[in-house]
Amino acid sequence: MAEEEDKKMIEIYVMGRRYKVPEGLTIMTALEYAGYKYVRSCGCRGGFCGACSTVFRKEGDYKLMMDLACQTAAEDGMFLVQLPFVPAVRAEFEIDELNIEENDNVMLEHYPEIARCVSCNTCTKSCPQDIKVMDYVQASLRGDIDRAAKLSFDCIQCGLCSIRCPADIKHYHLAQLARRIKGRYIDPKSSELEKMVQELKEGKYDEELEKLCDMSEEELKKVYDERKFQKEG
């Protein structure tokens, strides 16, 4: 108790109710300190899985802010709300049946709502990964799948862009389609891929994987640090 009293406490508001929590906690740990128990939207708890997307406001600031709860520090006077589930229906498709050569714009066909984009850039401003979301939407609208895939490569599908979008675009599903098409039809085929897949099926690496699974965390770190890189070419 004495140790806790020495810590500086800040006030946060959760669904309108005030709580005092220690300074320095993330939004996620501050909510747990306040007594909330996570049953969903907690994910990796300290990386970039995208599960803990959060909307909040700060005292004296009119802006609606967005970020990941596991990455963002709780601040004095922060107002947090529970996010309702936002449906984002993914277009159905069979990747092997998409004919990108005969189709003028396969992206627009599967996600026609991208034609409603008004270039407000709200999606980009909402992204915790600083991805140029509006740019890859516009690239998709032009049929530039390669650019859309490259711009969206770091997307973790947290959904914050779609929550704010006035045109109801499903940005992260659009990005996923672009990357899948690029991998299937645009990127050059790896000469070693089929060989590696066959080796995996035959169990060539089973013994090595079992050995890794039995290692301690420190041993795994050592193996990772000493790994050898395959030369290109």
Query: Could you say which DSSP state residue 205 is in?
Result: T
How many domains are contained in the chain? 3
- Residue 172 buriedness (CB in 10 A; 0-12 / 13-18 / 19+): buried
Any domain includes 200: yes
- For 77-113, what is each residue's pLDDT tens digit? 999 876 655 667 889 989 988 877 766 689 999 999 9
Any domain includes 129: yes
- For 145-176, what is each residue's pLDDT tens digit? 999 999 999 998 888 898 888 898 999 999 99
Q: Determine the Cα–Cα distance for residues 174 and 134; give it in Å rounded to an integer.
A: 12
Residues 125 and 201 in one domain: no
Q: Which domain holds residue 48?
A: 2-80
Which DSSP helix (H) or strand (E) runs through 20? Answer: strand 17-22
Question: What would you report as the CA-atom Rg of the chain, rounded to the nearest whole angstrom?
Answer: 23
- Interacting residues of 75 by C-beta distance below 8 A, sequence separation 6+: 10, 12, 58
Any domain includes 27: yes
Mean pLDDT of 173-183: 94
- For 31-53, what is each residue's pLDDT tens digit? 999 998 887 777 787 777 878 88
Any domain includes 132: yes
